[in-house]
Chains A and B, each alone.
Chain A
């Protein structure tokens, strides 16, 4: 693609799933900071979720693959640390998707994704991935993961 339509790039990026949580895209996750077109090339600014998150490399590869499959070769991926990634920008729609998938979305009151009870208890600050902690529901007793607020 030779012209500089960044909208098309955003559309494509929105089809690239998060490698760990496939129900949301990398755009919904909030790791795509900006897309710019200059000197006949797209610059895609990416921020890591957690510094050491192994998925960072995976979604960079996935983005490259997706763009190339769509015949876009004039792009570069640039890591941008500032401002740091935050869960504050996650939309209600994205939070809803997480909830349906069984992950309690980032919020001060942790809600059980199974029975929607607010009576929940922290089991561990650290879960199966860097962005999640482990909870259990006091109402239905199911254990579940909570997307940490950061």
Chain B
């Protein structure tokens, strides 16, 4: 049961990030960036498909699609940062940068998991996440060290999104259990590496690291912000309205 929940957390993070990013398709600031964000979204959908497929195997009765389309908000375990609305381009870039830096470290560790499927999916995802990190880092620097307006905007994005970064490093009873078994990752241990990536990029981008204040929490228990329900209502509409629909 814990392994199923653990796998769903990873899958949901990718799935919800992917669905959010897909909102940029045809709305990107330039054609290249439109393609970049859509491609990153596609990578994340693919990763979600792999992890949901494994969840389906563990569960034995639900399919990957059932998990994606037939669960309600409270049954989703993605971190709150992934469900936040796209906002302006800078908001999206800051979230993508924070998540990619975390995913890079997380998948590096998970690729050493004793669970063969999780380690295989992690090694695969890691290669793709490296590109996502590289891409979002370069935009952080261009926007932060860009014009007065771009700097102001991206600093505001940083400040408002910062409250969602605490969840990356939380360890609840399932995380502890999975880590003890050599299956999961010790999220707390990723903090140093994440700080290093973030501080280095912020320095290069001439941006100020926000002060740690109140940190959002709850997604590991299925508690979310109101953004998730709206996202799901769109993502799940078709299979729920037309359950017999086929590709």
Contacts and interface: CB of A to CB of B under 8 A. Distances in A.
Contact of B43 (A50, A82, A85): A50
A48 B46 contact: yes
Given A82-B123, A84-B124, A52 B43 contact: yes
Contacts of A126: 32, 35-36, 39-40, 131, 135
A51 B43 contact: yes
A124 B134 CA distance: 12
A78 to B, nearest CB: 12
Interface stretch (A34-42, A91-99, A105-113, A127-135): A127-135
A81 B117 CA distance: 8
Nearest to B120: A82
A124 B138 CA distance: 11
Contacts of A84: 120, 123-124, 127
Interface string B48-68: 011000000000000000000
B42 interface: yes
Contact of A51 (B35, B116, B128, B135): B128
Contact of A124 (B32, B42, B45, B50): B32
Interface in A111-128: 123-128
Interface residue tally on B, bucketed by range: 20 to 34
B125 interface: yes
Contacts of A150: 127-128
Interface in B178-221: none
Contacts of B41: 52
A53 interface: yes
Given A84-B127, A126-B40, A53 B35 contact: no
A51 B44 CA distance: 8
Contacts of A50: 42-43, 46, 128
Contacts, number: 70
Which secondary structure characterizes the binding site on chain A? loop
A39 B14 CA distance: 38
A125 B131 contact: yes
A98 B40 CA distance: 24
Contacts of B100: none
A130 B39 CA distance: 6
B121 interface: yes
Counting chain A CB atoms within 10 Å of each CB, the highest count among B18, B44, B50, B134 belongs to B50
A84 B43 CA distance: 14
Candidate in B35, B40, B47, B134 with the most chain A CB atoms within 10 angstroms? B35
Contact of B46 (A53, A125, A128): A53
B19 interface: no
A51 B125 contact: yes
Given A81-B120, A82-B119, A124 B36 contact: yes
Given A51-B46, A81-B50, A126-B135, 12 more contacts: A48-B46, A51-B45, A51-B47, A51-B128, A52-B46, A52-B47, A81-B124, A84-B124, A126-B32, A130-B39, A130-B42, A150-B127
5 contacts: A51-B46, A52-B45, A85-B124, A124-B36, A128-B35
Interface of B: 18, 32-33, 35-36, 39-47, 49-50, 116-117, 119-121, 123-125, 127-128, 131, 134-135
Interface of A: 48, 50-54, 81-85, 123-128, 130, 134, 148, 150
